[in-house]
Each structure stands twice: as structure tokens, then as C-alpha cells.
Amino acid sequence: MQKDIIAEQIETTPNILIVDDDKNFRKSTAGIFQKHKYNVRHFESAQDAILDAERNFFHLALIDYNLKDVHGLVLGEKLKAMNPYTGLILITGYASLDTAIESIKKGMDYFLTKPVDPNTLILAVAQVITKQRLLMERKKLIDDLREADRIKSSFISRISHEFNTPLTSIIANTAFLREVLDMKTFTEKIDKVKCAVGSLEAEARTLKGMIKNIIDASKIEAGKFILQKKDNEDVEKVISQAVQASAEEFKQKNISLEKELDLNNLQMTLDPERIRQLVEMLLKNAIKYSDSGSRVTLRAFVSEKKLFIEVEDFGPGIKEGESPFGLFKVYDNINEPACGGMGLSLSIGRAIVIEHGGTIEAVNKKEGKGCKLTFALPVR
């Protein structure tokens, strides 16, 4: 049983299947259930009931003990095999203790004797459906916990890899520097020393950024993500700081940045550090998914009392039906991404926007390859 089907059926109006060769009983019982707002389907033969159960989800089946084509207990076993979350009530006009015991052994949830008092029937049905829904909720909870555990394991694998890369570089460059410092020809190696020191600094900053993202993600999950807003902040200055922080990565990957800023000295109340972080995240995300030699466009403008900031790239775009803003989404499949990253940046960016009272969206460009990330903040 698919977990999405289980989740869908937990809260829906119960579907009841009646299988009895007594036409009058089927009709009268269906009427009782319909008065209580149950959805009802009824059949004379077990074969017809099975065919219908292959196409429809039933919360409960009310089965006659002595059917013409198949024994009621056999039908119950088949229905249970098709859907373990279908409750089963066996009903018969030939009750005995042995029959009741046999029905329980065969997996029936309840046993009733004809003629059945309507109130007794409704009470029995309600009890069985409640039991089956509890079982479905338990299954859904277990599935959700397993999925959360799988994603956690995926995250740990990814973060281990992401930390390992800069640490390997740091260790290698440290070993090189130690070796050079022991040489008499140190001055001859000065260019390589400068390169190694630069690499150490860059990788250390990378690790610091990773740790900061993890801390931010944990604050978001705990509901403790708080902004430090300031009045009269120069928006263009904040954007320029983000551009400057990303400049080296644009240069390294040979990607050009086109800026279209139309802000007219706009000043706003915002958290300058977080907005700078957000714009930098969007730019670096665009760099990550863009090919060498391509371009990224950064736009900022005011419309309808809102500040819009857009970052447009020519990368692979977003997979259909997926959102890049959920925590633990980007690294959901540890074998898939080729661009690296822990997948936290955009989810943190979304939190920054929400805390500013804004909105953020990501859409694939209609004219072809690429994605456009846009966030809007209210201008007050």
C-alpha cells in the first residue's frame, strides 16, 4: 500500500463494501450506512467485490458468511491481502461459538449475527473503522520517521563529503608550507607559498560558511531564527556588498554578471547582513549551476510598493514538481548533485525573506534553459 494513499484515506469519508447474496439485506444495510454519511458499494458475489476492491479503497468490508461463489472467510482473506487496512466484519444468520472463533482466527475484526440491530451495526462499524485509521496513522508515522531518518543519513553523508574537501586542501597546503619553511630556497618558492596561503584562507572561509549555514538551519527548525533590523539601510549598498563577496567566484568560473539596478537611492528597514547574505546566496547558487562562459543577471527594482530582487541564470533549472526552498531537499539524493553544497542556502534564504514579510519564488525560464529566483520585500 502506497504511503501517499494511506495519508489520503486517513481523513476521508469512510468507504464501506457490503457483500451479501441477500438483496434486501444489502439495500437496507446500505441505507443505514448512507444515513450516517458513509460511502457504500454493495455486491452479491465475491468476484464482483474483488474486482471493485482492485479499483477502490475500502475502509471496511461487511461480508456474509455463506456466499454463493466463495466462502465469506476466504473473501475476507483476499480483501485483507489486497489492502491490509480494510477492516472486516463477518455477518451470518447461523451463528455459533465455533464460527465466531474461526472468524477471529481468519483475521476478522468483528462478528455479528443476523438480524442485526442498526445501532449495534453502526457502533461495530465505527469501532472497526477507528481501529483501522489508527493503524493507518501508525503506518504513516513510521513511514515519515523512516523518511526523516533516510534524509538525515543522506545529509550526514553529504556534509561529511563537503567538509572533507576543504579539509583535504588545508592539510595538503599546510604540509607544503611546513616543507617549504624547512628549505633554504624559501624565497624561490614565494609565489607557491602565497598561493597555498590563499587556498588555506579560502577553504577556511568555506568551512566557516558551512558551519554558519548549519547553525542557521537549526535555528529555523527550532523557530529561533531572529533578524536584527535597522532603519534607513541603503539597499544598493547592501546588494553591492553581496556582489563584491561573489566576485572572485564569478572570475574563477569565467561567468559574467550583468547588473540592472533601478533603486533611486532606496532606503529601507531591514537586516542588512541577512539581505546581503541572501543576495550572495542567490548569486553563488547561480554560479554553481551555470556553465563556464555563461552569464548571470542581477536585477533590483521597486514596483507596487515592493522591492524586487531577481537572479537569473542559464543552468539546468529546477526539476518539475520540486521546490528548492525546503530544508534537506537539495541533497535528498546523495548520488545525484554534481555541483556540491549541502542544500541549505536556499531554505535559509526563504526564512530570511519570510522574516522580512516578503515572498520568494523560483521558476524555470520559458524560453529555454535556466532559472530565475525572485524575492520581494514590502517597502514601508
d(C-alpha 125, C-alpha 60), whole Å: 8
- Residue-level pLDDT at 19: 94
Q: What are phi and psi of 141, to 5 degrees?
A: -65, -45
Global model pTM greater than 0.75: no
What strands, in cross-sheet order, belong to the sheet with 60-64? 39-43, 15-19, 60-64, 87-92, 110-113
pLDDT tens digits in sequence order for the chain, 380 residues long: 455 555 555 667 889 999 998 899 999 999 999 998 899 999 999 999 999 999 998 999 999 988 888 888 999 999 999 988 899 999 888 777 787 788 888 888 888 888 889 999 999 999 998 888 888 888 888 888 888 777 776 766 677 667 777 777 777 877 777 777 666 666 667 777 777 777 777 777 777 777 777 778 777 777 788 889 999 999 999 999 999 989 988 998 999 999 999 999 999 999 999 999 999 989 988 898 888 999 999 999 999 999 999 999 988 777 665 555 554 444 344 344 434 444 567 788 888 999 999 999 888 876 557 888 999 999 98
d(C-alpha 72, C-alpha 107), whole Å: 12
CA atoms within 13 A on the CB side of 375: 23
Other beta carbons less than 10 A from residue 93's beta carbon = 13
Pick the CATH number of 230-378 from 3.60.15.10, 3.30.565.10, 3.50.50.60, 3.30.420.10: 3.30.565.10
- Tell me the residue ranges of DSSP E strands in the chain: 15-19, 39-43, 60-64, 87-92, 110-113, 230-234, 256-262, 267-270, 295-303, 306-312, 359-364, 371-378
CATH for 154-222 is: 1.10.287
- Residue-level pLDDT at 343: 56
Report DSSP state, residue 339: S
Spell out the domain ranges in the chain: 3-143, 154-222, 230-378
The β-bridge partners of 91 are 64, 112
d(C-alpha 116, C-alpha 90), whole Å: 12
What is the second-level CATH architecture of the domain 3-143?
3-Layer(aba) Sandwich (3.40)
Q: What is the dihedral of CA 184, 187, 189, 193, to 10 degrees?
A: 110
Q: Which amino acid is at 234?
A: D
CB 344 within 8 A of CB 327: yes
- Residue-level pLDDT at 307: 96
- The whole-angstrom distance between residue 218's C-alpha and the CA centroid of its chain comes to 17
Residue 307's contacts (CB-CB under 8 Å, 6 or more residues apart) are: 235, 263, 266, 268, 300, 301, 376, 377, 378, 379
- Residue-level pLDDT at 3: 53
- The whole-angstrom distance between residue 351's C-alpha and the CA centroid of its chain comes to 16
